[in-house]
Amino acid sequence: QVQFVESGGGLVQAGGSLSLSCAASGSTFSINAMGWYRQAPGKQRELVAAIRRVGSTKYADFVKGRFTISSDNAKNTVYLQMNNLKPEDTAVYYCNALGWTTGSPFGSWGQGTQVTVSS
């Protein structure tokens, strides 16, 4: 099993930036890709960005050009640099391992980290 611990959220004004980190532990050898998801109040959890061990990345349309995902495979850590934040980016952000083609997560969810963007 794989566990994740997210950090780096906070309160920021619209147009500001935040950087999130996620450390994976446990059976990390099973991970070929990791991703950041988010869940806003009253909405379903959605995939924001993902990265494969080989470095390929993909982004949801609503964050393209603003967010950047990166990873340190040696540390089993994935990062999310968020720039030009908008109030609609307000959500709890989670990371997880996922199937690259489906985007479906398969690890245990951590507590997430709250990101709040004020207008």
Question: Whose CA is closest to 87, among 11, 8, 21?
Answer: 11
Enter the tokens of residue 116: 């709040």
pLDDT at 43: 97
Phi, psi of 83 (to 5 degrees): -115, 160
Mean pLDDT computed over 62-90: 97
Summarize pLDDT for 39-61 with one digit per residue, the tens.
999 999 999 999 999 999 999 99
Enter the tokens of residue 36: 């950041």
Summarize pLDDT for 12-26 with one digit per residue, the tens.
999 999 999 999 998
pLDDT at 29: 83
Sheet of strand 77-82, all strands in order from the earlier edge strand to the far edge: 2-7, 18-26, 77-82, 67-72
